[in-house]
Structure 1
Amino acid sequence: MDGPQPTSRSGGVVATLALAGTVAAVMQTLVTPLIADLPQILHTTSSNATWVITVTLLSAAVCVPVAGRLGDLLGKRKMLLASCVPLLAGSVVCALTSSVGMMIVGRGLQGMGMGVVPLGISLLRDLLPPEKLSSSIALVSASMGIGGGLGLPIAAAVAEYASWRALFWGSAVLAALIAVMIWSFIPNVPAAAKGQRFDLAGALGLGVGLVCLLLAISKGGDWGWGSGSTLGLFAAAVVVLLVWGFWELRTRDPLIDLRTTARPRVLLTNAASVLIGVGMYAQMLIVPQLLQFPKATGYGLGQSMLAMGLWMAPAGLVMMVVSPFGGKLTNARGPKFTLVSGSLVIAAGYALSMALMGSTWGLLIVTVVISGGVGLAYGAMPALIMSAVPVSETAAANGFNTLMRSLGTSIGAAVIGVVLSQMTVTMGGFTFASEEGFRTGLLIGGGVALLAAAVAATIPGVARSAAAQDGEAENAVTAEPAAKA
């Protein structure tokens, strides 16, 4: 495999990959400000309109691990460019349509482009010199959170002052820009797993299992958690994923090497990733509602959609600033320390929310602290993963880790949604989530963050390798993989 490219190209590589991840994440939150207007825009029911959001989650969950594995087999640059195609096509479809069916198709295509995040992270290992690797991985990994944080205020501003179609034309332009930058700045790297076959059966099995699981989680609140549809999907997910696991353990070139993911260092990192996803999303669901609820409730702050987005925008910027610092912390103390620290910072943010949730400035402080913790944690996860998997599996392993984060956000949305729907208050004939409901949701976020810190603290150190340049086993992002258990 080619060594790292000249340092003079590092800036363009990192900027391109970080922007690609941010743009893909922005498309996840693009329609959030339009949720209330979608039934009118698309001439459909509220129930049908929710599929515009759900389908993006489902397609991303299915395509991210597949894109990662294809990156290992065919070349990561090639798959990065391929991932830009559905991003661009989906944006154009959404911009041109007024029907719910085509909007769902377009949003599904946009979700397929989320593979750029794990592909970008794994490419950094191939292209950058060791001294720049940790901070660059941290920035590109955090682009998922950065995009989510910045996408909401930008989309709110565009939706309020321009046509909703401008959101999708803008995302189409960004997708085209990313493709041009990848073509210009990302050099070709030989495929790490060239010659191995693609596990089509494994991809189909994982896709079906994930769709059943995530559909049950995301729609359970609407359908009823005890309904036949929800329980049937959960049961189907268990059966399909068990069969999939049986297949993956026995096929020669699996989509995801479950023996590798079962290594304690990888397994515990992925478990912590799910918990961090829950912790991150709790405040993203609660704070916008607190900001926008009417002041007459006694706890709402009466902000407009645009004002709400602006109050939350600094959180995304803080994540961008904190991520490189997290890389330096990883170099100094190791990725495990950074992940534990990030989890504890998230928990501290939720603790602050108990005293500060009554003001806009207080909520700004809360979101900034939590986002700073997310930036630290997100940057540490790929470093832990890549120090424990073979080079030929880096993209697939990072794709699976990205999937775990997304699974965490889905679980967080479901759990907080149940809490807020059950703890309500009625005023003037309208039913709202109560102040106690919001407090309970925030406490859940903080508790899950503490649990993530506890799980991360049990992650074992990586085996010392001759390839570790600085003699620190914990800082082994560029080291050879640890010996098989």
Structure 2
Amino acid sequence: MTRTPAASPPPASTAGLTSEHGTRLGSRLTMVLLAMLWPAQMLTVAGVFTSTSQGAIAQHFQTTQIAWFMTIYALVVALATPFVAKAGDLFGRKRVMLAILVAGLIGDLVVVLAPSFEIMLVGRAIAGLYGPMAALVYASARDVFPPRYVGLATGLIGSSAGIVLVVCPLVAGWLLDHTGFHGVLWALGGGIALGLLLVLVFVPDIPPTEERVHFDWAGGLLLGSSATVLVYALGQGGTWGWTDGRFLGLIAAAIVLAVLFVVVERRVAEPLLDVRMLARPGVSTVLAGSAIAQGTFFSAGTMVVFVALYPYIPGASSGLGWSGTHTAVVGTPAGLLVILVGVGAGLLTRKVDPRLPWRAGLVITTAGLIAQGFFHHNELQIILAGCLTNIGAGLVLSCAGILLLGVVSHREQGVASGMAVMLTNLMNALTTQLMFTALNSDRNILNGTAFYTDDALSNAYFTLAACMGIALLLSFLIPRVLRPDQIETGTTEQATSNR
């Protein structure tokens, strides 16, 4: 039997936050926000740090399979997300946050200590268990913060990626220049450890939103397996060929598993996912559009490795051969814009339809990626084109979580956030593979490492722009959504009584 927040009061610590700071964001709530924001953004930190170091890793281990450094992480995230999201509802989200933080720390330690590329991939797989952290954080926001601050807090959690895009490239670039990729990976492990401490000390206990019932293992395995097979197929498609029998067979298997999942979920008493929720146009369009948009943006962030950090080799590589620090400095203005635009979007959506800044962000991001495809040959071009992309990205990252809050109920938030994270990782795997397909259209292999020409770099950006364009088209199918000040939350007596 499902237990809604109305059936049980919020925990003492959360209630105290609300009653004490019902009209302003005090120091205690600020620390809670930081404690939730940090581990959520460590996912983006991991993306920046690992993408910054992957070129050096590929050359160190002399492998042309560096794409799997990212893909295997997405595979595990896709498999783990439905289990983690449901576990947060059943056992309490703080407990599950701590468990996956520990898993992420262990995985990152395996990666940094790995004596071979194969062992490193094992570590990345273990670290992937940390991937659903953002789903737990977003689902917890409406339980922790007063109603008037839910939209602002959610927007800040999303848009704080701008801080990552400003500070972390500088840190990662400096570490790469002075300590090699091992220093970058050690720093990543330290960030996960700090996130573990912050959650342990400052995040209040959030009671389970559902009674502990028999866990839907069949549904979880079918959904996770379908997602995993799909991601693996997309990862291999560029190598095998998109019409190869193996690729088509895996796609067919993923579809069959997805259909079986729907059949099972419609029959079990306590399903892992209420598939009827996805039949609602608001939920399906928001999840699909935000997953494609965010997945594409994260894929685009890895392009800096091939554009700036890869060396210039006449006839073989069109990289600019910059140092990590120089690359980070050039990218700083664009990162700052994500912060400024994201904060503004979080405030704006309290007064306007969130779909408007969302669509504007998609238009601007698409235009920015096209501009990057044409102009990526010097500092000024990269700064201007990158700023255009990140103005749109600030709107996209900030509004994604807000849109989801506006189309699902409090009881559905955990599962919906879990689906959002899983779909974003699937789309990230898909768009990354499409990006590598475009890059591989004109590559040269030297000493076991692939290098890319200018045409290849341009084609990759144009491919990503097309993906963002698909998200833009989907945005016009999203029906009316609630503004943050209109949604129900689990924090106040008024919201509880209204339900």
Alignment pair present for 1:332 and 2:351: yes
Aligned with 1:130 (options 143, 147, 171): 147
Q: Distance in 2 between matches of 1:109 and 1:28?
A: 15
Contact 1:25/1:145, CA 8 A, preserved across alignment: no
Are the equivalent residues in 2 in contact too, given 1:272–1:456 (CA < 8 A)?
A: yes
Question: For the residues of structure 2 that align with 1:357 and 1:245, how far apart are their CA atoms?
Answer: 45
CA contact (8 A) 1:336 1:456 kept: yes
Distance in 1, matches of 2:469 and 2:247, equals: 30
1:215 to 214, 232, 249: 232
Distance in 2 between the 1:302 and 1:319 partners?
26
- Match among 26, 37, 40 for residue 18 of structure 1: 37
User: Alignment partner for residue 56 of structure 1, among 45, 50, 73?
Assistant: 73
What's 1:294 paired with?
A: 312
Cα distance in 1 for partners of 2:64, 2:370 equals: 35
In the alignment, structure 1 residue 257 sits paired with structure 2 residue 274: yes
Change in Cα spacing, 1:426 to 1:117, as seen in structure 2 (3 Å) is closer
Structure 2 unaligned segments of length 5 or more: list them.
none
- Decide which of 376, 392, 409 is 1:373's aligned counterpart: 392
- Structure 2 vs 1, CA of residues 423 and 38 (structure 1 numbering), >3 Å: closer, same or farther? closer
Indicate the larger mover: 200-209 or 403-412.
Answer: 403-412
Between stretches 383-392 and 225-234, larger displacement belongs to 225-234
Deviation at 1:61, TM superposition (A): 1.7
Once the two structures are TM-superposed, the CA of residue 389 in structure 1 deviates from its matched residue by 2.1
Between 1:330-339 and 1:442-451, the stretch displaced more is 442-451
Counterpart of 1:234 (choices 251, 262, 265) is 251
Identity %: 23
Q: CA deviation at 1:290?
A: 2.9
Q: Deviations over 1:37-70 (max 9, x none)?
A: 446756xx62566544332121112222321221
Counterpart code for 2:218: A
Q: Paired residue for 1:476?
A: 486
Match of 1:323 in 2: 342
User: Where does residue 105 of structure 1 map in the other structure?
Assistant: 122
> Counterparts of 1:297-308 in structure 2 under 5 Å?
301-308=320-327
Gap change, CA 1:163 and 1:377, over 3 Å in 2: closer
Structure 2: which amino acid aligns with 1:154?
Answer: V
Give the distance between the partners of 1:477 and 1:299, measured in 2 at CA: 50
CA distance in 1, matches of 2:329, 2:123: 27
1:286 shift after superposition: 3.8
Contact 1:213 1:237 in 2 (8 A): yes
- RCO higher in structure (CA 8 A, sep ≥6): 2
Determine the C-alpha separation between the residues in 1 that align with 2:104 and 2:465.
Answer: 34
Instruction: Tell me which moved more, 119-128 or 269-278.
Output: 269-278
Task: State whether residues 281 and 479 of structure 2, in contact with CA within 8 Å, keep that contact through their aligned partners in structure 1.
Answer: yes
Change (3 A) 1:425 1:302: same
Change in 2 beyond 3 A, CA 1:431/1:133: closer
Residue pair 1:277, 1:407 contacting (<8 A) in 2 also:
no
Per the TM alignment, residue 418 of structure 1 is displaced from its structure 2 partner at its CA by 1.8
The normalised TM-score by structure 2 is 0.84
Question: Which amino acid letter does the alignment assign opposite residue 40 of structure 2?
Answer: G
The one of 84, 108, 126 aligned to 1:91: 108
Paired letter, 1:85: V
Among 441, 449, 473, the alignment partner of 2:468 is 449
CA distance in 2, matches of 1:317, 1:191: 37
Q: Does 1:284 align with 2:301?
A: yes
Distance 2:183 2:142 in 1: 36
2:450 and 2:101 map into 1 onto residues whose CA distance is 43
Residue identity matched to 1:31 = T
Equivalent residue letter for 1:394: Q
Counterpart amino acid of residue 107 in structure 1: R
Task: Give the Cα separation in 2 of the matches to 1:147 and 1:233.
Answer: 36
Displacement, 1:226? 3.6
- CA shift at 1:92, angstroms? 2.2
* Distance of aligned partners of 1:432 and 1:321 in 2 relative to their CA distance in 1, 3 Å threshold: same
Deviates more, 1:224-233 or 1:321-330: 224-233
Deviation, 1:409, is 1.8
1:193 is displaced (CA, Å) by 1.6
Separation of aligned partners in 2, 1:371 and 1:350: 10
The residue correspondences of 1:380-395 to structure 2 (distance < 5 A) are 380-395=399-414
> Contact conserved, 1:387 with 1:478, CA < 8 A, in 2?
no
Partner secondary structure for residue 351 of structure 2? helix
Question: One-letter code of the match for 1:346?
Answer: T
Residue number in structure 1 paired with 2:196: 179
Structure 1 Cα separation of the partners of residues 162 and 233 of structure 2 = 24
Cα deviation code 1:308-344 (max 9, x no counterpart) = 3432344344323332221112112132222112112
CA shift, 1:146, in A, is 5.8
How many residues end up aligned between the 2 structures?
A: 468
> Is 353-362 or 115-124 further displaced after alignment?
353-362
1:224/1:308 Cα in 2 relative to 1: closer, same or farther (>3 Å)? farther
Q: 1:318 to 1:65 in 2, by over 3 A?
A: farther
Q: SS of the residue aligned with 1:409? A: helix
Question: Shift of residue 371 of structure 1?
Answer: 2.2
Give the letter aligned to residue 204 of structure 1.
L
Distance 1:442 1:77, change over 3 A: same
5 Å matches for 1:263-282?
263-277=280-294, 279-281=296-298
- Looking at structure 2, the residues matched to 367 and 172 of structure 1 have their Cα atoms a distance apart, in angstroms, of 28
What is the alpha-carbon distance in structure 1 between the residues aligned to residue 387 and residue 293 of structure 2?
Answer: 16
- Look up the equivalent residue of 2:79 and give its one-letter code: V
